[in-house]
Amino acid sequence: MMKILASATLLAAILATPAGAQKQGVELGVLDCVIDGGTGFVFGSTKDLSCTFRPANTANAPEDYFGVVRKYGLDVGTTGTTFMQWVVLAPTANIYAPGALAGDYIGASAGATVGVGAGANLLVGGSGSFFTLQPLSVEAQTGLNLAIGVSSFQLRSAD
């Protein structure tokens, strides 16, 4: 079990680095999210989240979002509240409009937690699937958990 946890942690660290997930496109801002804690049930988990998008262009106001993150695949254990931060990328800056990040995202995920753990998720989606969420800071969570699989991330505008 410890070898699996160590391997998942290494994979998460690789995915979270710029070499593992290279920037493509224009940086629109940063999305900060708080993901509720919960328990994984072997084949997956579902957790509520709330997020704030802080546009790189300071002329635009921050935007609040809410939603659900679902993990499919191996997800065993219990975690506390998770904090995650993504850089929001798009092919061009003119695609963005308030509320445009709302939509469905999908991507690979990996994470391991023993006490305090780490994980990474590169996600693609949003309005017209134009946006990429690239991990800016590795998630910080507490608990005992191992998760490897696919993440589905549903984001809705709070406005």
Domain of 39 in residue numbering reads as 2-157
pLDDT at 137 over 80: no
Q: What is the pLDDT of residues 102-131, one digit of tens each?
A: 999 888 655 444 444 445 566 777 777 789
If phi > 0 it is left, if psi is from -120 to 50 it is alpha, else beta; for residue 60 that is beta
The count of structural domains within the chain is 1
Q: What is the pLDDT of residues 61-97, one digit of tens each?
A: 999 999 998 876 655 566 667 788 889 999 988 888 8
Q: What is the pLDDT of residues 7-21, one digit of tens each?
A: 333 334 334 433 334
* Cβ–Cβ under 8 Å, residues 27 and 61: no
Tell me the residue type at 144: L
Q: What is the pLDDT of residues 24-45, one digit of tens each?
A: 689 999 999 988 776 655 566 7
Is the pTM for the entire model greater than 0.75? no
How many angstroms separate the first and last alpha carbons of the chain? 44
